[in-house]
C-alpha cells in the first residue's frame, strides 16, 4: 500500500494528494474543494451532483445500484481509518 490516510490527509509516499476538512475533500494541501460527503453520497465539488454512493460494503456509481468496487478493494489500496470518506478519496484520486 502506497496510499496512507491519517484521518486528515491522503498521502502517496510523502506527497499530499488530498486533505479532508469536515465533509469537504480538497485537492493536495490546498483549498480547492473537489468533493463533499453527505450521508452515504459522494458529491461533486461543493454541489449536489452525486458521483457515487456507499451502501453497506459496496461502492456504487452515481445514485444508482451499479457496483464499481467494495470497501475491501479500497482497504487494499489505502491504509488508514474511514468509511465513506475513505471510499470518496479512493473514488476521486486512486480509482
The pLDDT assigned to 71 comes to 97
Looking at residue 69, its pLDDT comes to 97
Helices (H), the chain: 71-77, 84-89
Residues 6+ apart with CB under 8 A from 46: 24, 33, 36
Distance CA 52, CA 85 (A): 12
CA dihedral of residues 43, 44, 50, 54 (deg, nearest 10): -40
Residues 6+ apart with CB under 8 A from 50: 41, 42, 43, 44, 62, 63
* Confidence at residue 82, expressed as pLDDT on a 0 to 100 scale: 87
pLDDT at 47: 95
> What local confidence, expressed as pLDDT, does residue 2 receive?
86
pLDDT along the chain (95 residues), means of 10: 92 96 96 97 97 97 95 96 96 95
Amino acid at each position: 500500500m502506497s496510499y496512507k490516510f491519517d484521518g486528515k490527509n491522503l498521502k502517496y509516499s510523502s506527497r499530499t494528494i488530498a486533505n479532508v476538512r469536515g465533509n469537504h475533500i480538497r485537492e493536495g494541501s490546498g483549498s480547492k474543494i473537489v468533493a463533499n460527503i453527505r450521508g452515504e453520497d459522494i458529491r461533486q465539488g461543493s454541489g449536489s451532483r452525486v458521483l457515487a454512493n456507499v451502501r453497506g460494503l459496496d461502492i456504487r456509481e452515481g445514485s444508482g445500484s451499479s457496483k464499481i468496487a467494495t470497501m475491501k478493494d479500497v482497504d487494499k489500496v489505502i491504509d488508514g481509518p474511514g468509511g465513506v470518506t475513505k471510499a470518496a478519496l479512493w473514488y476521486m484520486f486512486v480509482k
